[in-house]
């Protein structure tokens, strides 16, 4: 049996990056009944850089839950819960804070990138700065062994592993070191934004959302960044940093050629033609559009069904949070025992 944990910040609806980076894998892992899966909506973490916009975080809890359910996460198999309903996570974080130095956090590459991205400069909120420690609490509270993530999260998992090792060495060997599970395909590890930016991210506004309408999807694909030197159809095209081809790497299968572009057998043939010249961006974009429309239509339909029954959605979050809380309480109890601070 493996214990698997993953989560998302309720800072917006979920997008294609989440889907290929982690969601699709979670649905796959869920189908193995030997796995025990925890899925957290990280509202407390989202507050660390959105504390001045509580409504954004609050409203997006529902949106993320709808995205989960419409992608096929099954609340009868996976425990879906809200981070702030598990106060034990804060207590664990507080003890783990002693095991991490300020300079180690400053060296964390994800923290560095995100501080820059958010324009904090010298005014980084302490809560934001320390969120990798709370993420270690989120993971270890459930003794999670596997964490399916995109590659922006690797430094976070490494930080969690270090905390576990320090704790186990100092006190008692009770915490489990987590392992990151990256997507099989590199394009999926960090899907770029439609603007060609290195990462599709809610905060950068360069996303195709799972809930976008067919019209929004095709408009966004038409506006996508390709090869700026590919001006005439006859010009040779480049694949490096060509977002449309990166998306094809993430989504395209041979069967899609038979359905939508039968003059080619596979993606390699299409790429070769593009590089040679004589293949227009509009043909490639149209092909990507067909694939994404087909992939996202059933998700959108399910989402519409669930959004008619929000009471049901909230009841899932409530019972998931109760279950998660009782498990985190057991871990906290053994952590305190290991540290020798259970006084009575």
Q: Where on the chain is the footprint of ligand ATP (CB under 6 A)?
A: 8-9, 11, 17-18, 21-22, 149-150, 152-153, 190-191, 199-203
Q: Which is nearer to ligand ATP, 10 or 75 (CB)?
A: 10
Nearest CA-CA partner of 92 in 135, 121, 58, 56: 135
* Count of alpha carbons within 13 angstroms of residue 12, beta-carbon side: 18
Contacts of 28 (CB under 8 A, 6+ apart): none
Distance in Å, CB of 174 to ligand ATP, minimum? 26
Q: CA–CA separation, 24 vs 26, rounded Å?
A: 5
Distance in Å, CB of 272 to ligand ATP, minimum? 27
The DSSP call for residue 97 is G
Q: Which residue is nearest to ligand ATP (CB)?
A: 21
Distance in Å, CB of 168 to ligand ATP, minimum? 25
Which residue shows structure tokens 């300079």? 103
| Contact indicator for 323, 77 with CB cutoff of 8 Å | no
C-beta atoms surrounding 304 within 10 Å: 11
Q: Which is nearer to ligand ATP, 18 or 271 (CB)?
A: 18
Distance in Å, CB of 39 to ligand ATP, minimum? 11
For helices 281-307 and 243-251, give the axis angle rounded to 10 degrees: 50
Q: Which is nearer to ligand ATP, 93 or 246 (CB)?
A: 246
Q: Which is nearer to ligand ATP, 99 or 182 (CB)?
A: 182
**Tokens standing for 77?**
């198999």
Distance in Å, CB of 85 to ligand ATP, minimum? 18
Which residue shows structure tokens 């094809």? 248
Q: Which is nearer to ligand ATP, 9 or 256 (CB)?
A: 9
| Contact indicator for 175, 167 with CB cutoff of 8 Å | yes
Distance in Å, CB of 12 to ligand ATP, minimum? 7
Q: Which is nearer to ligand ATP, 64 or 327 (CB)?
A: 64
């Amino acid at each position: 049996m493996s214990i698997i944990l993953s989560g998302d910040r309720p800072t917006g609806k979920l997008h294609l990056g989440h889907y290929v980076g982690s969601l699709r894998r979670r649905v796959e892992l869920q189908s193995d009944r030997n796995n025990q899966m925890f899925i957290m909506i990280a509202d407390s973490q989202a507050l660390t850089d959105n504390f001045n916009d509580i409504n954004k975080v609050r409203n997006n809890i529902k949106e993320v839950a709808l995205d989960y359910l419409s992608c096929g996460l099954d609340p009868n198999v996976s425990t879906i819960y809200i981070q702030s309903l598990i106060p034990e996570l804060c207590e664990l974080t507080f003890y783990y804070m002693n095991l991490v130095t300020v300079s180690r956090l400053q060296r964390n590459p994800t923290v560095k990138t995100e501080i820059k991205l958010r324009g904090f400069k010298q005014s980084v909120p302490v809560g934001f700065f320390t969120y990798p420690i709370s993420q270690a609490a989120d993971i270890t509270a459930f003794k999670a062994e596997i964490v399916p993530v995109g590659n922006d999260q690797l430094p976070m998992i490494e930080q969690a592993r270090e905390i576990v090792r320090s704790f186990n060495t100092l006190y008692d060997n009770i915490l489990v070191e987590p392992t990151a599970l990256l997507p099989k395909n590199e394009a999926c590890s960090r899907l770029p934004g439609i603007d060609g930016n290195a990462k599709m991210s809610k905060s950068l506004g360069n996303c195709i959302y799972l809930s976008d309408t067919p019209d929004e999807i095709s408009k966004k694909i038409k506006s996508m960044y390709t090869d700026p030197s590919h001006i005439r159809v006859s010009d040779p095209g480049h694949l490096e940093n060509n977002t449309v081809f990166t998306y094809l790497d993430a989504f395209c299968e041979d069967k899609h050629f038979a359905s939508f572009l039968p003059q080619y057998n596979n993606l390699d043939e299409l790429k070769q033609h593009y590089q040679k010249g004589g293949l227009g961006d509009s043909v490639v974009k149209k092909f990507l559009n067909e694939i994404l429309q087909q992939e996202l239509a059933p998700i959108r339909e399910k989402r519409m069904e669930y959004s008619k029954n929000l009471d049901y959605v909230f009841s899932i979050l409530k019972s998931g949070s109760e279950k998660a809380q009782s498990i985190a309480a057991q871990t906290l109890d053994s952590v305190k025992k290991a540290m020798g601070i259970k006084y009575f």
